[in-house]
Structure 1
Amino acid sequence: MGRSRRVKRKKKKKKEKEKHKKKKKKKKKKKKKKKKRRETKRKRKREKEKEEEKEEEEEKEEEEKEKKEKKARSSLNPPPPP
């Protein structure tokens, strides 16, 4: 005698449940990975923007410094009157 229909059905159902569980787990893992990747991407972008902002600020400060030096030099020895 073979296995009864009920037992076979139960086994099949269990197998299907396990399959779905695995699929769900895989999907969750994929989602988590995607989220992490997105976060790191955003983080890098923010860091890059901060770096660019810092560089711009430094350039502005340097330009102001040069202007002040130029002004100071011109006030020390004014150009001869024509």
Structure 2
Amino acid sequence: MITRRQRILLFSSSEQLKMLFGAETILVDGTCSRWFPIKRGGPQGSSLTPSVFIAYHSDMSDAFPMAMSFLFADDVAATMA
């Protein structure tokens, strides 16, 4: 049986990114489920997810100069007085 890690290593870099961010499997008792699409968010525990979040939201405070923004990892809060 091929492991999930071996499956990832079989594909090109773009396919790896697609699998890491576009689809997921569940491993139960050594058996992998079918791949299913991830429609929202990023993978939990990924070191890349916070970087993508920062790049995407880094200029949010420019759009709302009167708001106080609080950004942390993958959460956003904005308050306006």
TM normalised by structure 2 equals 0.24
Q: Is the radius of gyration larger for structure 1 or structure 2?
A: 1
TM normalised by structure 1 equals 0.24
- Higher helix proportion: 1
- Higher strand proportion: 2
